[in-house]
Copies of this chain bind each other. A is one copy, B any other.
Amino acid sequence: MTRIDTEWVEKATTELHASGRRAGGARAEVITQLSRETCAVTAEQIERTLAGANRRVGRASIYRALEALAHVGLVQRVDLGESGSRWERIGANGHDHHHHLLCSACGQLVPFEDDGLETALHHLAANEDFTVDSHEVTLHGRCASCAAKQAA
C-alpha cells in the first residue's frame, strides 16, 4: 500500500470546496484511496478496497466523487479495451503525467513517461484546428514475462 499523497489530498479538498461543494465523508474516503494508488483503478476496485477496510461507501457516491474530481481536473478517466473505465489521480504538480502499456495476455497495466512523445503531442496540438485540453496514449502488446512465455 502506497503512502498517501498528502499534497494531492489537500489540493483536492481545497479545489472542491472552492468550486462550491460541501465536504462529505464518502468523498473524503474516495479521495484518500485515490491518493494511495499509483496507476489507474476501476470504480469497483475502489469500492472493494474501502469495504475491505471497513469504510464502505455507496457505489453512487464513488461515481459522484470521481465525476466531481474529474470536473476540476484532479482525476482522469482512462478507457482501455476492457469492460469498465479506470480512473487515476492527476498529480498536483502535473509531474506524474504518464501513459499506459496494456498487456493483452495478462491484463497488466504499466505506466510510462516519455518526453519525446509529449513534445510530439504538443507540436501536433499547436498545428491542429482544435483546442486540445488533454491527451491519452495507450500502447497494446505483451509485457516482458508474457512475451517470454509465448516464445517458449
Q: Which residues of A contact B (CB under 8 A)?
A: 77, 79-81, 85, 101, 103-104, 110, 112, 114, 116-117, 119-121, 123-125, 128-144, 147
Contact = CB atoms under 8 A, between A and B. Distances in A.
A41 to B, nearest CB: 16
Contact of A120 (B77, B80, B116): B116
Contacts of A136: 136-138, 140
6 contacts: A110-B130, A129-B143, A130-B139, A130-B147, A132-B139, A136-B137
Contact of A139 (B123, B125, B143): B125
Contact of A124 (B79, B114, B125, B130): B114
A19 to B, nearest CB: 18
Copy number of this protein in the oligomer?
Answer: 2
A137 B135 contact: yes
A144 B117 contact: no
B79 A80 contact: yes
Contacts of A141: 125, 130-134
Nearest to A124: B114
B128 A104 contact: no
Nearest to A120: B120
Given A77-B81, A80-B79, A81-B85, A124 B116 contact: yes
A131 B123 CA distance: 27
A121 B120 CA distance: 9
